[in-house]
A and B are shown apart, each in its own frame.
Chain A
Amino acid sequence: MPSEDEIYQEHILDHYEDPFHRGHLDGATHAHEEKNPLCGDVVRIELELDADGKIVDCYFQGDGCVISQASASMLLEEMYGKTVEEAMQYSAEDMLELFGAKLTPNRQKCCLLGWKTMLQAVHSPVK
Protein backbone atom coordinates (compact mmCIF):
# COMPACT_ATOMS: atom_id res chain seq x y z
CA MET A 1 0.00 0.00 0.00
CA PRO A 2 1.72 3.20 -1.14
CA SER A 3 1.93 5.77 1.58
CA GLU A 4 0.83 9.32 0.80
CA ASP A 5 3.54 10.51 3.12
CA GLU A 6 6.12 9.35 0.64
CA ILE A 7 4.74 11.45 -2.20
CA TYR A 8 5.87 14.77 -0.87
CA GLN A 9 9.48 13.79 -0.32
CA GLU A 10 12.11 16.46 0.00
CA HIS A 11 13.59 15.99 -3.48
CA ILE A 12 10.12 16.32 -5.00
CA LEU A 13 9.34 19.50 -3.10
CA ASP A 14 12.79 20.78 -4.14
CA HIS A 15 11.95 20.31 -7.80
CA TYR A 16 8.56 21.93 -7.25
CA GLU A 17 10.01 25.07 -5.69
CA ASP A 18 13.22 25.17 -7.70
CA PRO A 19 12.41 23.56 -11.04
CA PHE A 20 14.89 22.75 -13.79
CA HIS A 21 14.38 24.98 -16.85
CA ARG A 22 10.86 26.14 -16.18
CA GLY A 23 9.94 28.75 -18.76
CA HIS A 24 9.92 29.48 -22.46
CA LEU A 25 12.64 28.44 -24.91
CA ASP A 26 13.21 31.09 -27.59
CA GLY A 27 15.05 28.88 -30.02
CA ALA A 28 12.67 25.93 -29.77
CA THR A 29 12.55 23.67 -32.81
CA HIS A 30 10.02 21.27 -31.31
CA ALA A 31 7.19 21.70 -28.82
CA HIS A 32 4.12 19.94 -27.50
CA GLU A 33 1.47 20.58 -24.87
CA GLU A 34 -0.49 17.86 -23.11
CA LYS A 35 -3.43 18.13 -20.74
CA ASN A 36 -4.96 15.66 -18.34
CA PRO A 37 -8.68 16.28 -18.94
CA LEU A 38 -9.70 14.70 -15.64
CA CYS A 39 -7.75 17.00 -13.34
CA GLY A 40 -6.82 19.86 -15.68
CA ASP A 41 -3.05 19.47 -15.24
CA VAL A 42 -1.12 20.96 -18.17
CA VAL A 43 2.51 20.53 -19.25
CA ARG A 44 4.13 22.16 -22.27
CA ILE A 45 7.63 21.11 -23.32
CA GLU A 46 9.80 23.08 -25.75
CA LEU A 47 12.93 21.52 -27.21
CA GLU A 48 15.85 22.65 -29.29
CA LEU A 49 17.12 19.72 -31.34
CA ASP A 50 20.33 19.94 -33.37
CA ALA A 51 20.97 18.29 -36.75
CA ASP A 52 22.11 15.08 -35.03
CA GLY A 53 18.86 14.81 -33.07
CA LYS A 54 20.41 15.86 -29.78
CA ILE A 55 18.36 17.77 -27.23
CA VAL A 56 20.66 20.78 -26.85
CA ASP A 57 18.13 22.67 -24.73
CA CYS A 58 14.71 22.08 -23.21
CA TYR A 59 12.19 24.03 -21.15
CA PHE A 60 8.80 23.28 -19.67
CA GLN A 61 5.80 25.27 -18.52
CA GLY A 62 2.65 24.06 -16.88
CA ASP A 63 -0.01 24.26 -14.28
CA GLY A 64 -1.13 21.56 -11.96
CA CYS A 65 -0.33 19.43 -8.95
CA VAL A 66 3.06 19.04 -7.33
CA ILE A 67 3.49 15.62 -8.92
CA SER A 68 2.85 16.75 -12.50
CA GLN A 69 5.11 19.78 -12.23
CA ALA A 70 7.96 18.26 -10.20
CA SER A 71 8.05 15.18 -12.45
CA ALA A 72 8.30 17.38 -15.57
CA SER A 73 11.26 19.18 -14.00
CA MET A 74 12.96 15.89 -13.16
CA LEU A 75 12.37 14.54 -16.64
CA LEU A 76 13.84 17.58 -18.39
CA GLU A 77 16.88 17.51 -16.13
CA GLU A 78 17.33 13.90 -17.17
CA MET A 79 16.76 14.48 -20.89
CA TYR A 80 18.94 17.55 -21.21
CA GLY A 81 21.78 16.64 -23.62
CA LYS A 82 20.27 13.28 -24.55
CA THR A 83 19.32 12.26 -28.09
CA VAL A 84 15.79 11.88 -29.45
CA GLU A 85 16.44 8.16 -29.63
CA GLU A 86 17.32 8.04 -25.96
CA ALA A 87 14.24 10.09 -25.13
CA MET A 88 12.06 7.66 -27.08
CA GLN A 89 13.55 4.71 -25.22
CA TYR A 90 12.88 6.29 -21.86
CA SER A 91 9.96 4.21 -20.54
CA ALA A 92 7.08 4.95 -18.21
CA GLU A 93 8.75 2.67 -15.67
CA ASP A 94 11.94 4.73 -15.97
CA MET A 95 9.94 7.88 -15.31
CA LEU A 96 8.17 6.47 -12.25
CA GLU A 97 11.50 5.24 -10.93
CA LEU A 98 13.09 8.65 -11.49
CA PHE A 99 10.26 10.30 -9.58
CA GLY A 100 11.06 8.05 -6.66
CA ALA A 101 7.84 8.13 -4.63
CA LYS A 102 5.34 5.31 -4.84
CA LEU A 103 2.14 6.45 -6.54
CA THR A 104 -1.35 5.06 -6.82
CA PRO A 105 -2.51 4.46 -10.43
CA ASN A 106 -4.45 7.75 -10.40
CA ARG A 107 -1.44 9.78 -9.36
CA GLN A 108 0.83 7.90 -11.77
CA LYS A 109 -1.10 9.70 -14.51
CA CYS A 110 0.05 13.01 -13.01
CA CYS A 111 3.64 11.78 -12.94
CA LEU A 112 3.52 10.55 -16.54
CA LEU A 113 2.00 13.72 -18.01
CA GLY A 114 5.39 15.33 -18.69
CA TRP A 115 6.75 12.05 -20.01
CA LYS A 116 3.84 11.72 -22.47
CA THR A 117 4.40 15.33 -23.51
CA MET A 118 8.08 14.66 -24.15
CA LEU A 119 7.37 11.64 -26.39
CA GLN A 120 5.11 13.85 -28.52
CA ALA A 121 7.37 16.89 -28.43
CA VAL A 122 10.36 15.21 -30.10
CA HIS A 123 8.11 14.56 -33.11
CA SER A 124 6.37 17.93 -33.15
CA PRO A 125 8.40 20.51 -35.09
CA VAL A 126 7.54 24.15 -34.41
CA LYS A 127 6.02 25.58 -37.56
Chain B
Amino acid sequence: MPLAETTIDTSALLPESLRDDFPILQQTVHGERPLVFLDSAASSQRPRQVIDAVTEVYERDYANVHRGIHVLSERASDAYELARGKVQKFLGAKYDHECIFTGGTTASINAVARSWGDANVAAGDEILLNPMEHHSNLVPWFQLAERTDATIKHIPLTDDGRLDLDRLDEVLSERTKILAVTQVSNTLGTVNPIAELAARAHDAGAVILIDAAQSAPHLAIDVQQLDVDFLALSGHKMCGPSGVGVLYGKQDLLDTMPPFMGGGSMIGNVALDGFTSAGLPAKFEAGTPPIAQAIGLGAAVDYLTEIGLDRIAAHEHALMEYAYARLSEIEGLKILGPAPEHRAGLVSFVLDQPHAHDIAQLVDRHGIAVRAGHHCTQPLHDLLGITASTRASFYLYNTPGEVDTLVDAISQIVSMFKPSGRKRRRKPDEA
Protein backbone atom coordinates (compact mmCIF):
# COMPACT_ATOMS: atom_id res chain seq x y z
CA MET B 1 0.00 0.00 0.00
CA PRO B 2 1.43 3.42 -0.87
CA LEU B 3 2.07 5.77 2.02
CA ALA B 4 -0.86 8.05 2.67
CA GLU B 5 -0.59 11.68 1.66
CA THR B 6 0.12 13.57 4.86
CA THR B 7 0.37 17.13 3.72
CA ILE B 8 -2.49 19.52 4.23
CA ASP B 9 -4.08 21.85 1.72
CA THR B 10 -3.24 25.09 3.53
CA SER B 11 -4.96 27.23 0.91
CA ALA B 12 -8.29 25.85 2.15
CA LEU B 13 -7.66 26.80 5.78
CA LEU B 14 -9.27 29.70 7.60
CA PRO B 15 -6.94 32.07 9.46
CA GLU B 16 -5.99 30.85 12.94
CA SER B 17 -6.86 34.29 14.27
CA LEU B 18 -10.50 33.10 14.19
CA ARG B 19 -9.71 31.25 17.40
CA ASP B 20 -9.43 34.60 19.15
CA ASP B 21 -13.20 34.91 18.80
CA PHE B 22 -13.69 31.90 21.10
CA PRO B 23 -12.89 32.74 24.74
CA ILE B 24 -13.24 29.12 25.89
CA LEU B 25 -10.46 27.98 23.55
CA GLN B 26 -7.93 30.29 25.18
CA GLN B 27 -7.46 28.11 28.25
CA THR B 28 -5.04 25.40 29.23
CA VAL B 29 -6.14 22.21 30.99
CA HIS B 30 -4.35 19.60 33.12
CA GLY B 31 -1.63 22.06 33.92
CA GLU B 32 -0.25 23.77 30.85
CA ARG B 33 -1.86 21.76 28.07
CA PRO B 34 -3.62 23.99 25.53
CA LEU B 35 -7.21 22.82 25.13
CA VAL B 36 -7.67 20.86 21.89
CA PHE B 37 -11.40 20.72 21.37
CA LEU B 38 -12.30 17.99 18.87
CA ASP B 39 -15.85 17.31 20.06
CA SER B 40 -17.83 19.91 18.13
CA ALA B 41 -20.11 17.29 16.58
CA ALA B 42 -21.49 16.75 20.08
CA SER B 43 -21.72 20.49 20.77
CA SER B 44 -19.68 23.32 19.35
CA GLN B 45 -18.14 26.25 21.19
CA ARG B 46 -19.43 29.78 20.60
CA PRO B 47 -17.71 33.01 19.67
CA ARG B 48 -17.71 36.23 21.66
CA GLN B 49 -20.18 37.66 19.13
CA VAL B 50 -22.83 35.10 20.15
CA ILE B 51 -22.08 35.33 23.86
CA ASP B 52 -22.36 39.13 23.64
CA ALA B 53 -25.65 38.95 21.75
CA VAL B 54 -27.16 36.75 24.46
CA THR B 55 -25.74 38.90 27.25
CA GLU B 56 -27.09 42.01 25.58
CA VAL B 57 -30.61 40.59 25.45
CA TYR B 58 -30.52 39.82 29.13
CA GLU B 59 -28.91 43.12 30.07
CA ARG B 60 -30.99 45.41 27.90
CA ASP B 61 -33.93 43.96 25.97
CA TYR B 62 -35.30 40.91 27.74
CA ALA B 63 -39.02 40.44 28.22
CA ASN B 64 -41.51 37.85 27.04
CA VAL B 65 -42.22 38.03 23.33
CA HIS B 66 -45.50 38.76 21.54
CA ARG B 67 -47.29 39.59 24.78
CA GLY B 68 -46.44 42.77 26.62
CA ILE B 69 -47.42 46.23 25.43
CA HIS B 70 -44.23 47.76 26.67
CA VAL B 71 -40.90 48.74 25.28
CA LEU B 72 -38.91 45.72 26.41
CA SER B 73 -41.43 43.26 25.06
CA GLU B 74 -41.38 45.08 21.76
CA ARG B 75 -37.60 45.03 21.60
CA ALA B 76 -37.40 41.37 22.56
CA SER B 77 -40.14 40.46 20.07
CA ASP B 78 -38.39 42.37 17.28
CA ALA B 79 -35.06 40.71 18.03
CA TYR B 80 -36.71 37.28 18.19
CA GLU B 81 -38.43 37.76 14.83
CA LEU B 82 -35.27 39.24 13.35
CA ALA B 83 -33.50 36.00 14.32
CA ARG B 84 -36.19 34.03 12.51
CA GLY B 85 -35.54 36.07 9.40
CA LYS B 86 -31.82 35.30 9.65
CA VAL B 87 -32.57 31.59 9.88
CA GLN B 88 -34.87 31.86 6.86
CA LYS B 89 -32.07 33.36 4.76
CA PHE B 90 -29.56 30.88 6.15
CA LEU B 91 -31.71 27.96 5.00
CA GLY B 92 -32.99 29.55 1.82
CA ALA B 93 -36.60 29.15 2.97
CA LYS B 94 -39.33 30.89 0.99
CA TYR B 95 -41.07 32.41 4.05
CA ASP B 96 -39.80 33.21 7.52
CA HIS B 97 -42.88 31.59 9.11
CA GLU B 98 -41.70 28.28 7.68
CA CYS B 99 -38.93 28.38 10.32
CA ILE B 100 -40.23 27.29 13.71
CA PHE B 101 -38.08 27.75 16.80
CA THR B 102 -37.94 24.54 18.83
CA GLY B 103 -35.79 23.14 21.59
CA GLY B 104 -33.42 21.47 19.13
CA THR B 105 -33.19 18.82 16.44
CA THR B 106 -34.77 16.16 18.65
CA ALA B 107 -37.74 18.39 19.44
CA SER B 108 -38.12 19.28 15.76
CA ILE B 109 -38.18 15.66 14.59
CA ASN B 110 -40.58 14.66 17.35
CA ALA B 111 -42.89 17.51 16.37
CA VAL B 112 -43.08 16.21 12.79
CA ALA B 113 -43.51 12.59 13.90
CA ARG B 114 -46.32 13.58 16.25
CA SER B 115 -48.09 16.23 14.23
CA TRP B 116 -47.58 15.31 10.60
CA GLY B 117 -47.07 11.62 11.42
CA ASP B 118 -50.23 11.04 13.42
CA ALA B 119 -52.29 12.86 10.79
CA ASN B 120 -50.79 11.17 7.74
CA VAL B 121 -49.47 7.72 8.63
CA ALA B 122 -51.74 4.69 9.04
CA ALA B 123 -51.50 0.92 9.39
CA GLY B 124 -49.63 -0.62 6.49
CA ASP B 125 -47.84 2.60 5.55
CA GLU B 126 -44.07 2.59 5.54
CA ILE B 127 -41.53 4.89 7.17
CA LEU B 128 -38.14 4.80 5.46
CA LEU B 129 -35.02 5.20 7.61
CA ASN B 130 -31.49 3.78 7.48
CA PRO B 131 -28.96 2.32 9.92
CA MET B 132 -26.67 5.36 10.09
CA GLU B 133 -29.32 7.56 11.73
CA HIS B 134 -28.88 9.09 15.18
CA HIS B 135 -31.28 7.74 17.81
CA SER B 136 -33.18 11.03 17.57
CA ASN B 137 -34.06 10.27 13.95
CA LEU B 138 -35.00 6.66 14.72
CA VAL B 139 -36.88 6.53 18.01
CA PRO B 140 -39.58 9.15 17.16
CA TRP B 141 -40.37 7.11 14.03
CA PHE B 142 -40.40 3.83 15.96
CA GLN B 143 -42.87 5.48 18.32
CA LEU B 144 -44.98 6.67 15.37
CA ALA B 145 -44.92 3.14 13.93
CA GLU B 146 -46.07 1.77 17.29
CA ARG B 147 -48.94 4.25 17.47
CA THR B 148 -50.11 3.68 13.91
CA ASP B 149 -49.06 0.10 13.07
CA ALA B 150 -46.93 1.46 10.27
CA THR B 151 -43.86 -0.47 9.12
CA ILE B 152 -40.24 0.66 9.44
CA LYS B 153 -37.97 0.09 6.44
CA HIS B 154 -34.27 0.80 6.09
CA ILE B 155 -32.19 1.86 3.11
CA PRO B 156 -29.25 -0.59 3.09
CA LEU B 157 -25.74 0.78 3.53
CA THR B 158 -22.79 0.04 1.28
CA ASP B 159 -19.75 -1.64 2.84
CA ASP B 160 -17.99 1.72 3.12
CA GLY B 161 -20.89 3.31 4.99
CA ARG B 162 -22.91 5.17 2.36
CA LEU B 163 -26.58 4.81 1.49
CA ASP B 164 -26.89 2.14 -1.20
CA LEU B 165 -28.99 4.07 -3.71
CA ASP B 166 -28.87 1.16 -6.17
CA ARG B 167 -31.09 -0.67 -3.71
CA LEU B 168 -33.39 2.25 -2.89
CA ASP B 169 -36.19 0.81 -5.01
CA GLU B 170 -36.24 -2.29 -2.81
CA VAL B 171 -37.48 -0.19 0.10
CA LEU B 172 -39.04 2.92 -1.45
CA SER B 173 -42.53 2.46 -2.89
CA GLU B 174 -45.97 4.03 -3.02
CA ARG B 175 -46.44 2.66 0.53
CA THR B 176 -43.62 4.93 1.77
CA LYS B 177 -45.08 7.95 3.54
CA ILE B 178 -41.91 9.61 4.73
CA LEU B 179 -38.18 9.29 4.22
CA ALA B 180 -36.25 10.57 7.24
CA VAL B 181 -32.53 10.84 6.63
CA THR B 182 -29.54 12.67 7.97
CA GLN B 183 -27.62 14.99 5.69
CA VAL B 184 -24.32 14.15 7.42
CA SER B 185 -23.76 11.08 9.59
CA ASN B 186 -22.55 12.00 13.07
CA THR B 187 -20.53 8.77 13.27
CA LEU B 188 -19.36 7.95 9.75
CA GLY B 189 -19.12 11.50 8.47
CA THR B 190 -20.92 10.40 5.31
CA VAL B 191 -22.54 13.22 3.33
CA ASN B 192 -25.80 11.95 1.88
CA PRO B 193 -27.12 13.10 -1.54
CA ILE B 194 -30.17 14.92 -0.26
CA ALA B 195 -31.38 16.46 -3.54
CA GLU B 196 -31.41 13.05 -5.21
CA LEU B 197 -33.14 11.42 -2.23
CA ALA B 198 -35.75 14.19 -2.17
CA ALA B 199 -36.49 13.71 -5.87
CA ARG B 200 -36.79 9.93 -5.48
CA ALA B 201 -39.00 10.28 -2.38
CA HIS B 202 -41.29 12.76 -4.16
CA ASP B 203 -41.52 10.49 -7.21
CA ALA B 204 -42.82 7.78 -4.89
CA GLY B 205 -45.31 10.20 -3.35
CA ALA B 206 -43.47 10.42 -0.02
CA VAL B 207 -42.27 13.45 1.91
CA ILE B 208 -38.68 13.84 3.09
CA LEU B 209 -37.33 15.10 6.40
CA ILE B 210 -33.64 15.81 6.77
CA ASP B 211 -31.72 15.86 10.01
CA ALA B 212 -29.37 18.79 9.51
CA ALA B 213 -27.86 18.72 13.01
CA GLN B 214 -24.47 17.74 11.58
CA SER B 215 -24.75 19.62 8.28
CA ALA B 216 -26.20 23.05 9.02
CA PRO B 217 -23.12 24.05 11.06
CA HIS B 218 -20.77 23.06 8.26
CA LEU B 219 -22.33 23.21 4.78
CA ALA B 220 -24.35 25.76 2.87
CA ILE B 221 -27.98 24.61 2.74
CA ASP B 222 -30.78 25.74 0.46
CA VAL B 223 -34.01 23.99 1.32
CA GLN B 224 -35.71 25.10 -1.89
CA GLN B 225 -32.89 23.86 -4.06
CA LEU B 226 -32.74 20.57 -2.17
CA ASP B 227 -36.55 20.49 -2.26
CA VAL B 228 -36.87 18.98 1.21
CA ASP B 229 -40.20 19.06 3.02
CA PHE B 230 -38.86 19.23 6.58
CA LEU B 231 -35.49 20.05 8.07
CA ALA B 232 -34.37 19.89 11.70
CA LEU B 233 -31.32 21.58 13.22
CA SER B 234 -29.81 22.47 16.60
CA GLY B 235 -28.36 25.82 17.60
CA HIS B 236 -25.69 24.46 19.94
CA LYS B 237 -23.86 22.58 17.20
CA MET B 238 -23.51 25.72 15.06
CA CYS B 239 -21.95 28.23 17.45
CA GLY B 240 -25.33 29.10 18.94
CA PRO B 241 -26.79 28.58 22.41
CA SER B 242 -28.08 25.23 23.63
CA GLY B 243 -31.83 24.85 24.09
CA VAL B 244 -32.84 26.22 20.70
CA GLY B 245 -33.29 24.58 17.34
CA VAL B 246 -35.28 25.01 14.19
CA LEU B 247 -37.93 23.04 12.41
CA TYR B 248 -38.24 24.11 8.80
CA GLY B 249 -41.33 22.89 6.96
CA LYS B 250 -42.90 23.81 3.66
CA GLN B 251 -45.76 26.21 4.24
CA ASP B 252 -48.43 24.02 2.65
CA LEU B 253 -47.46 21.08 4.85
CA LEU B 254 -47.21 23.08 8.07
CA ASP B 255 -50.57 24.69 7.32
CA THR B 256 -52.34 21.34 7.18
CA MET B 257 -50.66 19.96 10.30
CA PRO B 258 -52.39 20.10 13.69
CA PRO B 259 -50.46 21.84 16.48
CA PHE B 260 -48.28 19.41 18.39
CA MET B 261 -48.23 21.13 21.77
CA GLY B 262 -51.08 23.16 23.19
CA GLY B 263 -50.60 26.24 25.33
CA GLY B 264 -50.06 29.95 25.21
CA SER B 265 -49.02 31.67 21.97
CA MET B 266 -50.27 28.89 19.70
CA ILE B 267 -53.92 29.90 19.92
CA GLY B 268 -56.17 32.03 17.81
CA ASN B 269 -59.02 32.09 20.30
CA VAL B 270 -59.77 30.09 23.43
CA ALA B 271 -63.22 29.54 24.90
CA LEU B 272 -64.35 27.37 27.80
CA ASP B 273 -64.95 24.44 25.49
CA GLY B 274 -62.37 24.76 22.78
CA PHE B 275 -59.80 26.73 20.87
CA THR B 276 -58.69 27.73 17.42
CA SER B 277 -55.03 27.60 16.40
CA ALA B 278 -52.88 30.55 15.55
CA GLY B 279 -51.28 30.74 12.14
CA LEU B 280 -47.66 29.96 11.36
CA PRO B 281 -45.22 30.04 13.05
CA ALA B 282 -46.99 30.63 16.40
CA LYS B 283 -49.09 27.48 15.92
CA PHE B 284 -46.00 25.39 16.67
CA GLU B 285 -44.45 27.62 19.32
CA ALA B 286 -46.63 27.00 22.36
CA GLY B 287 -45.41 28.50 25.60
CA THR B 288 -42.63 30.99 26.15
CA PRO B 289 -40.02 30.16 23.52
CA PRO B 290 -36.24 30.09 24.05
CA ILE B 291 -36.04 33.85 23.52
CA ALA B 292 -32.42 34.73 24.25
CA GLN B 293 -31.29 31.44 22.71
CA ALA B 294 -33.11 32.15 19.44
CA ILE B 295 -31.57 35.62 19.33
CA GLY B 296 -28.19 34.03 20.03
CA LEU B 297 -28.80 31.60 17.19
CA GLY B 298 -29.45 34.59 14.94
CA ALA B 299 -26.04 35.97 15.96
CA ALA B 300 -24.46 32.57 15.24
CA VAL B 301 -26.03 32.58 11.78
CA ASP B 302 -24.57 36.06 11.19
CA TYR B 303 -21.16 34.86 12.36
CA LEU B 304 -21.12 31.77 10.14
CA THR B 305 -22.53 33.63 7.15
CA GLU B 306 -19.93 36.35 7.43
CA ILE B 307 -17.11 33.81 7.27
CA GLY B 308 -18.99 31.86 4.59
CA LEU B 309 -20.24 28.30 4.84
CA ASP B 310 -18.30 27.26 1.76
CA ARG B 311 -15.05 28.41 3.34
CA ILE B 312 -15.94 26.67 6.61
CA ALA B 313 -16.70 23.44 4.72
CA ALA B 314 -13.39 23.67 2.82
CA HIS B 315 -11.44 24.29 6.04
CA GLU B 316 -12.98 21.32 7.80
CA HIS B 317 -12.58 19.10 4.79
CA ALA B 318 -8.86 19.89 4.63
CA LEU B 319 -8.48 19.09 8.34
CA MET B 320 -10.47 15.87 7.99
CA GLU B 321 -8.43 14.71 4.97
CA TYR B 322 -5.24 15.41 6.89
CA ALA B 323 -6.50 13.60 10.01
CA TYR B 324 -7.77 10.71 7.88
CA ALA B 325 -4.36 10.31 6.24
CA ARG B 326 -2.33 10.64 9.43
CA LEU B 327 -4.58 8.39 11.53
CA SER B 328 -4.53 5.77 8.75
CA GLU B 329 -0.79 5.42 9.29
CA ILE B 330 -1.29 4.20 12.86
CA GLU B 331 -1.01 0.44 13.15
CA GLY B 332 -4.18 -1.27 14.34
CA LEU B 333 -6.35 1.82 13.79
CA LYS B 334 -9.46 1.44 11.66
CA ILE B 335 -11.42 4.46 10.45
CA LEU B 336 -15.18 4.01 10.15
CA GLY B 337 -17.03 5.21 7.08
CA PRO B 338 -16.24 6.19 3.52
CA ALA B 339 -13.22 7.73 1.80
CA PRO B 340 -12.58 11.46 2.39
CA GLU B 341 -14.37 12.59 -0.79
CA HIS B 342 -17.68 11.33 0.62
CA ARG B 343 -17.33 12.79 4.10
CA ALA B 344 -17.68 15.92 6.15
CA GLY B 345 -15.31 17.09 8.88
CA LEU B 346 -15.18 14.23 11.34
CA VAL B 347 -13.33 10.95 11.75
CA SER B 348 -14.47 8.05 13.94
CA PHE B 349 -12.14 5.15 14.54
CA VAL B 350 -11.44 2.05 16.58
CA LEU B 351 -8.13 0.62 17.77
CA ASP B 352 -7.37 -3.05 18.34
CA GLN B 353 -6.49 -1.99 21.90
CA PRO B 354 -7.74 -0.31 24.01
CA HIS B 355 -11.45 0.53 24.20
CA ALA B 356 -12.76 3.94 23.07
CA HIS B 357 -13.36 5.12 26.63
CA ASP B 358 -9.76 4.45 27.55
CA ILE B 359 -8.63 6.37 24.48
CA ALA B 360 -10.82 9.34 25.39
CA GLN B 361 -9.56 9.27 28.97
CA LEU B 362 -5.93 9.00 27.90
CA VAL B 363 -6.04 11.73 25.23
CA ASP B 364 -7.76 13.99 27.75
CA ARG B 365 -4.44 13.98 29.62
CA HIS B 366 -3.02 15.70 26.55
CA GLY B 367 -5.75 18.32 26.74
CA ILE B 368 -7.70 16.74 23.86
CA ALA B 369 -11.49 16.45 23.99
CA VAL B 370 -12.92 13.67 21.80
CA ARG B 371 -16.13 11.69 21.99
CA ALA B 372 -16.11 8.00 22.90
CA GLY B 373 -19.02 5.60 22.87
CA HIS B 374 -21.74 4.81 20.38
CA HIS B 375 -22.52 8.49 19.64
CA CYS B 376 -26.26 7.69 19.83
CA THR B 377 -25.94 5.42 16.79
CA GLN B 378 -26.20 2.04 18.49
CA PRO B 379 -27.80 0.23 15.50
CA LEU B 380 -24.91 1.39 13.32
CA HIS B 381 -22.33 0.19 15.84
CA ASP B 382 -24.13 -3.16 16.06
CA LEU B 383 -24.08 -3.39 12.26
CA LEU B 384 -20.34 -2.67 12.26
CA GLY B 385 -19.84 -5.28 14.98
CA ILE B 386 -18.33 -2.86 17.49
CA THR B 387 -19.51 -1.61 20.86
CA ALA B 388 -17.95 1.84 20.74
CA SER B 389 -15.73 4.14 18.71
CA THR B 390 -13.71 7.29 19.23
CA ARG B 391 -14.67 10.39 17.26
CA ALA B 392 -12.64 13.49 16.47
CA SER B 393 -14.80 16.20 14.92
CA PHE B 394 -13.58 19.46 13.47
CA TYR B 395 -14.96 22.93 13.25
CA LEU B 396 -13.87 26.30 11.93
CA TYR B 397 -11.61 26.93 14.95
CA ASN B 398 -9.54 23.75 14.70
CA THR B 399 -6.01 23.69 13.29
CA PRO B 400 -3.64 21.19 11.65
CA GLY B 401 -1.47 21.45 14.78
CA GLU B 402 -4.36 20.08 16.80
CA VAL B 403 -4.63 17.11 14.43
CA ASP B 404 -0.92 16.50 15.02
CA THR B 405 -1.44 16.61 18.80
CA LEU B 406 -4.21 14.04 18.46
CA VAL B 407 -2.19 11.73 16.22
CA ASP B 408 0.82 11.89 18.57
CA ALA B 409 -1.36 11.11 21.58
CA ILE B 410 -3.02 8.16 19.83
CA SER B 411 0.37 6.81 18.74
CA GLN B 412 1.55 6.89 22.37
CA ILE B 413 -1.56 5.02 23.48
CA VAL B 414 -1.04 2.38 20.82
CA SER B 415 2.51 1.78 22.11
CA MET B 416 1.25 1.73 25.69
CA PHE B 417 -1.17 -1.09 24.90
CA LYS B 418 1.02 -3.07 22.55
CA PRO B 419 1.29 -6.60 24.03
CA SER B 420 4.45 -6.39 26.09
CA GLY B 421 4.47 -9.66 27.99
CA ARG B 422 2.99 -8.14 31.13
CA LYS B 423 2.31 -10.62 33.93
CA ARG B 424 0.02 -10.33 36.89
CA ARG B 425 1.60 -11.04 40.22
CA ARG B 426 0.41 -14.61 40.91
CA LYS B 427 -1.09 -15.53 44.23
CA PRO B 428 0.79 -18.42 45.85
CA ASP B 429 -2.21 -20.80 45.59
CA GLU B 430 -3.29 -19.87 42.08
CA ALA B 431 -4.75 -22.70 40.05
Contact = CB atoms under 8 A, between A and B. Distances in A.
A42 B387 contact: yes
Contact of B354 (A11, A15, A66): A66
B54 to A, nearest CB: 30
Given A4-B361, A39-B388, A65-B357, A77 B422 contact: no
Contact of B419 (A17, A40, A65): A17
B332 to A, nearest CB: 15
Contacts of B421: 17
A34 interface: no
A44 B358 CA distance: 20
A14 interface: yes
Interface stretch (B93-101, B150-158, B269-277, B423-431): B423-431
B424 A64 contact: no
Interface in A28-86: 38-42, 57, 63-67, 73, 77, 80-81
Contact of A20 (B356, B364, B387, B424): B424
A39 B358 CA distance: 11
A95 interface: no
Contact of B424 (A18, A41, A66, A80): A18
A19 B364 CA distance: 26
A68 to B, nearest CB: 8
B67 interface: no
B425 A11 contact: yes
A63 B387 contact: yes
Contacts of A73: 424
A5 B355 CA distance: 17
Contacts of B243: none
A17 B431 contact: no
A122 interface: no
Interface string A7-22: 1100101111111100
A40 B374 CA distance: 8
A66 B357 CA distance: 9
A80 B431 contact: yes
Contacts of B387: 39-42, 63-64
**Majority secondary structure, B binding face:** loop
Contacts of B422: 13-14, 16-18
A39 B373 contact: yes
Contacts of A64: 355, 357, 387
A39 B359 CA distance: 13
Contact of A66 (B358, B419, B425): B358
A38 B378 CA distance: 10
A110 interface: yes
B309 interface: no
Contacts of B423: 14, 18
A64 B388 CA distance: 9
Interface of B: 354-358, 361-362, 364-365, 372-374, 381, 387-388, 416, 419-425, 427, 429-431
22 contacts: A4-B361, A7-B361, A8-B362, A8-B416, A11-B425, A14-B422, A16-B354, A16-B422, A17-B419, A20-B424, A38-B373, A39-B357, A39-B387, A39-B388, A40-B374, A40-B387, A40-B388, A64-B387, A65-B357, A65-B358, A66-B354, A77-B430
Given A4-B362, A110-B357, 20 more contacts: A4-B365, A7-B361, A13-B416, A14-B424, A17-B421, A17-B422, A18-B423, A18-B424, A20-B430, A39-B387, A40-B373, A41-B355, A41-B387, A57-B431, A64-B357, A64-B387, A65-B357, A66-B355, A77-B424, A80-B430
The 4 A-B residue pairs with the shortest CB-CB distance, nearest first, are: A40-B387, A65-B355, A17-B422, A65-B357
